């Protein structure tokens, strides 16, 4: 969904609960108002169902409110010594009101849960969609754990709180309002006496809200930090073990955990104080109703039955008020989660808007790649730029081999050409369009094949069909054959499930088959060929994928350089040499000739 009018993702949250963007690089958190707006917008999508639900709940509550005056009438009938049949009929009326109220509230409750489930499903989809729209660098800077904790923990927290709390609150609000109306109809003085409890309730609630809102926001942040510390340690388990840094990681996790537990305790304390305040308010209120009832019964002739009904009404308020105010706790938690989710939704929409703003038409003219004065740095704190002042021109259909020592900037340049990142200075264009928005036939103009190929749980067919959802089985099989994937070896062929341990070669072949099916004008092969020197099948597959399109290959083997139209040598983020391979080899002191000699020596 669009996030226009929801405000900026990193604007301060209402009531001082802001967790602005950039806290430890985490994703932004929206203001409370923006989160509430998003919640209402989600509910508005099913306004008619909501209207029917509210009507049923209101009628159910009204039916239930008939019970206290009917009980009061029973008291009066007994005191006046009226016939038993009257008392019996009053009993039947009480039972009827109870059954009607239960039926209406039951149906209303089911409808309300359905409404909320629809809204939550839409929220989950919006957050997921927005997370996919975030620039890769932003997600990397926040860390996987932050994104995962939002689309799982926060969605879960919001779901749990809202699914349980909103129906409770809706019933509570209806009951409170209608009960007060019932009391006023009975005797306005009784209703006024009941209001004595209100200032105490308001003061307790305000104090709790002031205290708990920042606490919950802090808690969710600290839980995300704890998740991050944990995921980092688990993801890097090999390195942790190799360098014996388990203690440090355990200490970091324990510290993050301690911090979260301390905040948990603080929220518990705030809740206890709050509940104490509510109990006090109820005590004062009931005492006031009984005292005023006594005065009205003795001085103004109010019947004992009416005073009984008034006291019962007030007693009936205890539960809904307790439910409502007690739910503030869950609502706070849900709001903190919703603010984090809204932050992602807004950031996703902003990223989408920024990406296409001013890009004009994103359709490329051809597959020519222009890199002009490009500089790039990973994060502001990084000492050295990964690329500086890089110029490169690749005609459409040409194959360029990038070579250089480790850390010279090859992968960074590859990511910029594939549109994953935007340069800090200069520009990367494909067919005249900035690479990060460049499209060909509405699809990304460049595709990158990296060493890590993401394979989804599912069939071989599913895994390649993602590149061309409309492709026939025959086309899928042809693409796989083209890159040398042995489909006959998979039981079930295209419908066969991918084995859990797919070899590196098979994974690369699937990635290359995806490129053939997507058919982009530009392909970037980063690390795809790191084993191609020792794997002739993979080298052939790469050549086939590069044929007929502009190809940027990070070369690890002489074979890859031999097939290239042009070689670009990078050193410390700068292009130090470029030209045709044969021409560069003729410069005995050139960087390429030196690397070539070293590679030949290594391959011998």
Ligand X SMILES: Nc1ncnc2c1ncn2[C@@H]1O[C@H](COP(=O)(O)OP(=O)(O)OP(=O)(O)O)[C@@H](O)[C@H]1O
Least Cβ distance, residue 598 to ligand X (angstroms):
14
Beta carbon nearer to ligand X, 327 or 388: 388
Beta carbon nearer to ligand X, 451 or 459: 451
Beta carbon nearer to ligand X, 410 or 436: 410
Measured CA to CA, the distance from residue 292 to residue 286 in angstroms comes to 10
Measured CA to CA, the distance from residue 459 to residue 490 in angstroms comes to 10
Interface with ligand X, residue 410, by CB under 6 A: yes
Per-residue binder mask for ligand X (CB under 6 A), 4-23, x = binder: --------------------
Per-residue binder mask for ligand X (CB under 6 A), 324-363, x = binder: ----------------------------------------
Q: Residue-wise over 424-453: b if at least 16 C-beta within 10 A, else e? A: eebebbbbebbbbbbbbeeebbbbbbbbeb
Among 5, 85, 298, 406, binds ligand X (CB under 6 A): 406
Geometric angle at alpha carbon 412, from 243 and 602, rounded to 5° = 65
| Candidates 270-278, 307-315, 323-331, 404-412; binding stretch for ligand X (CB under 6 A) | 404-412
Contacts of 340 (CB under 8 A, 6+ apart): 19, 27, 29, 30, 150, 154, 220
DSSP assignment letter at 16? G
Interface with ligand X, residue 303, by CB under 6 A: no
Least Cβ distance, residue 434 to ligand X (angstroms):
20
Among 409, 484, 520, 529, binds ligand X (CB under 6 A): 409
Interface with ligand X, residue 412, by CB under 6 A: yes
Measured CA to CA, the distance from residue 125 to residue 122 in angstroms comes to 5
CA distances from 339 to 169, 226, 347, 387 (A): 20, 19, 12, 37
Interface with ligand X, residue 557, by CB under 6 A: no
Among 454, 411, 417, smallest CA distance to 433 is for 417
- Structure tokens of 43? 């509910």
Among 436, 362, 396, smallest CA distance to 521 is for 396
Q: Is 266 exposed, middle or buried (0-12, 13-18, 19+ CB in 10 A)?
A: middle
Beta carbon nearer to ligand X, 39 or 529: 529
Interface with ligand X, residue 574, by CB under 6 A: no
Contacts of 320 (CB under 8 A, 6+ apart): 171, 172, 173, 175, 176, 179
DSSP assignment letter at 27? P
| Candidates 72-80, 165-173, 175-183, 403-411; binding stretch for ligand X (CB under 6 A) | 403-411
Beta carbon nearer to ligand X, 17 or 530: 530
Neighbours of 234 (CB within 10 A): 11
Among 72, 404, 444, 484, binds ligand X (CB under 6 A): 404
Interface with ligand X, residue 382, by CB under 6 A: yes
Question: In sequence order, what DSSP letters do the residues of 443-504 get, joined into one string?
Answer: EESEEEE-SS----SSBHHHHHHTT-TT--HHHHHHHHHHTT--GGGSTTGGGSBPPSS--H
| Candidates 87-95, 156-164, 401-409, 512-520; binding stretch for ligand X (CB under 6 A) | 401-409
Interface with ligand X, residue 381, by CB under 6 A: no
Among 49, 378, 505, 585, binds ligand X (CB under 6 A): 378
Interface with ligand X, residue 386, by CB under 6 A: yes
| Candidates 168-176, 219-227, 378-386, 460-468; binding stretch for ligand X (CB under 6 A) | 378-386
Measured CA to CA, the distance from residue 369 to residue 545 in angstroms comes to 17
Interface with ligand X, residue 497, by CB under 6 A: no
Least Cβ distance, residue 24 to ligand X (angstroms):
16
Least Cβ distance, residue 504 to ligand X (angstroms):
16
Measured CA to CA, the distance from residue 602 to residue 458 in angstroms comes to 40
Beta carbon nearer to ligand X, 459 or 572: 572
Q: Which residues, numbered 148-177, are part of the site for ligand X (CB under 6 A)? A: none
Total residues binding ligand X (CB under 6 A): 11
Least Cβ distance, residue 401 to ligand X (angstroms):
13
Measured CA to CA, the distance from residue 581 to residue 599 in angstroms comes to 14
What is the residue whose two structure tokens read 């690397």?
A: 595
- Structure tokens of 510? 């699937």
Interface with ligand X, residue 431, by CB under 6 A: no
Interface with ligand X, residue 530, by CB under 6 A: no
Interface with ligand X, residue 135, by CB under 6 A: no
DSSP assignment letter at 154? I
Interface with ligand X, residue 503, by CB under 6 A: no
Among 407, 493, 496, 579, binds ligand X (CB under 6 A): 407
Least Cβ distance, residue 148 to ligand X (angstroms):
19
| Candidates 90-98, 203-211, 340-348, 410-418; binding stretch for ligand X (CB under 6 A) | 410-418
Per-residue binder mask for ligand X (CB under 6 A), 260-279, x = binder: --------------------
Interface with ligand X, residue 72, by CB under 6 A: no
The H-or-E segment that residue 567 falls in is strand 566-571
Interface with ligand X, residue 432, by CB under 6 A: no
Q: Which residues pair with 376 in a beta bridge?
A: 387
Residue ranges that bind ligand X, judged by CB under 6 A? 378, 382, 386, 404, 406-412
């Amino acid at each position: 969904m669009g996030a226009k009018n929801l405000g900026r993702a990193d604007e301060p949250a209402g009531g001082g609960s802001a967790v602005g963007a950039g806290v430890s690089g985490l994703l932004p958190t929206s203001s409370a108002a923006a989160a509430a707006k998003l919640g209402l917008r989600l509910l508005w999508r099913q306004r008619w169902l909501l209207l029917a639900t509210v009507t049923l709940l209101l009628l159910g509550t009204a039916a239930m409110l008939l019970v206290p005056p009917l009980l009061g009438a029973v008291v009066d009938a007994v005191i006046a010594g009226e016939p038993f049949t009257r008392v019996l009929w009053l009993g039947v009326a009480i039972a009827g009101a109870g059954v009607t109220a239960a039926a209406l509230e039951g149906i209303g409750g089911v409808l309300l849960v359905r409404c909320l489930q629809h809204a939550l499903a839409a929220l989950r989809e919006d957050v997921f969609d927005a997370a996919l729209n975030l620039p890769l660098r932003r997600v990397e800077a926040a860390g996987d754990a932050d994104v995962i904790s939002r689309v799982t923990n926060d969605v879960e927290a919001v779901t749990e709180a809202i699914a349980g709390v909103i129906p409770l609150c809706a019933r509570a609000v209806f009951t409170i309002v209608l009960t007060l109306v019932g009391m006023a109809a009975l005797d306005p003085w009784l209703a006024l006496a009941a209001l004595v409890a209100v200032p105490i309730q308001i003061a307790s609630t305000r104090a709790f809200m002031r205290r708990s809102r920042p606490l919950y926001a802090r808690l969710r942040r600290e839980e995300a930090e704890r998740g991050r510390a944990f995921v980092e340690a688990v993801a890097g388990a090999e390195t942790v073990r190799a360098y014996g840094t388990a203690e440090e990681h355990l200490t970091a996790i324990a510290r993050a955990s301690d911090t979260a537990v301390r905040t948990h305790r603080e929220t518990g304390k705030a809740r206890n104080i709050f509940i104490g305040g509510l109990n006090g308010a109820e005590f004062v209120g009931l005492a006031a109703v009984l005292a005023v009832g006594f005065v009205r019964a003795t001085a103004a002739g109010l019947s004992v039955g009416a005073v009984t009904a008034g006291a019962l009404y007030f007693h009936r308020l205890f539960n809904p008020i307790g439910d409502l105010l007690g739910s503030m706790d869950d609502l706070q938690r849900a709001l903190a989660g919703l603010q984090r989710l809204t932050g992602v939704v807004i950031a996703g929409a902003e990223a989408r808007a920024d990406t296409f703003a001013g890009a004009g038409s994103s359709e490329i003219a051809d597959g020519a790649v222009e890199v002009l004065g490009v500089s790039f740095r990973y994060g502001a704190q990084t000492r050295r730029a990964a690329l500086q002042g890089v110029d490169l021109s690749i005609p459409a259909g040409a194959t360029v081999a990038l070579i250089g020592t480790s850390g010279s900037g090859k992968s960074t340049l590859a990511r910029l050409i594939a549109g994953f990142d935007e340069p800090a200075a200069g520009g990367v264009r494909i067919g005249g369009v900035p690479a990060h928005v460049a499209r060909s036939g509405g699809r990304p103009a460049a595709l990158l094949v990296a060493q890590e190929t993401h394979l989804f749980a599912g069939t071989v067919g599913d895994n390649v069909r993602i590149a061309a959802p409309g492709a026939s089985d025959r086309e899928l099989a042809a693409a796989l054959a083209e890159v040398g994937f042995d489909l006959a070896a998979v039981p079930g062929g295209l419908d066969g499930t991918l084995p859990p341990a797919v070899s590196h070669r098979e994974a690369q072949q699937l990635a290359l088959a995806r490129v053939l099916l997507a058919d982009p004008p530009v392909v970037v092969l980063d690390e795809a060929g790191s084993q191609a020197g020792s794997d002739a099948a993979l080298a052939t597959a790469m050549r086939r994928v590069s044929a007929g399109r502009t190809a940027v290959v990070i070369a690890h083997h002489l074979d890859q350089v031999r097939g290239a139209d042009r070689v670009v040598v990078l050193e410390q983020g700068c292009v130090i040499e470029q030209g045709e391979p044969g021409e560069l080899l003729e410069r005995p002191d050139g960087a390429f000739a030196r690397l070539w000699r070293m590679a030949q020596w290594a391959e011998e």
